[in-house]
Amino acid sequence: MEEMGTEQFGDSNSQSQATSKDERTWAMIAHISAVAGFIFPFGNIVAPLLIWMLKKDELPFVGDQGKEALNFQISITIYVLISVVLIFVVIGIPLLVVLGIFALIMTIIGAINAYDGKYYRYPLTIRIIK
């Protein structure tokens, strides 16, 4: 048990060796697939959900990172819906722009960390799926 904890929070070399290239690639795809939300409504939730559902049992790292990406995208969707309501008070439009840029940057950072084999945690995330 102790070894698993140190692999999770150890240096990046031990983390990338603890996860296979296949796991790291699928975890990266789970993060980056959220960009589908810029093309399809709720694609940012559906794409990571599909990857998480398909790979969570066979690849534990993908299960963790897919769940993290999914929770972040659900949180962003909630924030966007609140911002849409706030459009009537004028502050919603700048909030939508900031949220879009924030979500894109955090998604890229999450994908890079996942590909490096690091257990990434998004900021401002409501952990709905445990």
pTM of the model: 0.82
**What is the DSSP annotation of 45-57?**
HHHHHHHHHHHTT
Cα separation of 41 and 125, whole Å?
20
What does the chain come to in residues?
A: 130
Q: Give the integer Cα–Cα distance in Å for 28 and 50.
A: 14
3-state secondary structure of 94: helix
Could you tell me the two tokens for 22?
A: 């296949």
How does pLDDT run across 80-129, given as a tens digit for each residue?
999 999 999 889 999 999 999 999 999 999 999 999 999 999 999 999 99
pLDDT tens readout for residues 28-56:
999 999 999 888 888 899 999 999 999 99
